[in-house]
Amino acid sequence: MSKENQKAPENLSPEQQQQLLFVMLIQQHQQIAMMGMGKIQNPQTEKIERDLSSAKFAIDTLNMLQHFTKGNLPKEVSEYLDQTLTNLRLNYADEKKKGDKEEPKESKD
């Protein structure tokens, strides 16, 4: 999307603002899950850390949101949530197969 087509949040309708906030909530939980799986760096510690219980909690939270918003989301937002959950579930299953033995890759400084 080009800059001309992007609207500043204050120029969005109340409905669009709510959709944007919902997508941001999805993205926050996606990031928490990916950090918990050791896929991305924790911005606070600047390290790759693996905590599958926090990843599962974030995925379960998104699953709950999907359940409680079923039929109430615009198609694009619903599809985004579906795709995010599918991606996270596949990654989580892969990490569970690896078990708790595997150490996360150290981040490069």
Number of domains in the chain: 1
| pLDDT tens figures, 30-82 | 999 999 999 999 999 999 999 999 999 999 999 999 999 999 999 999 999 99
- Whether residue 48 is contained in a domain is answered as yes
**pTM of the full structure:** 0.80
Domain range for 86 is 15-97
61 vs 10 pLDDT, higher one:
61
First to last CA, the chain: 33
Provide the percentage of residues in the chain whose pLDDT is more than 70: 83
Average pLDDT score over the chain: 88
10 Å CB burial of residue 76 (0-12, 13-18, 19+) is exposed
- Whether residue 10 is contained in a domain is answered as no
- Whether residue 50 is contained in a domain is answered as yes
pLDDT over threshold 80, residue 103 = no
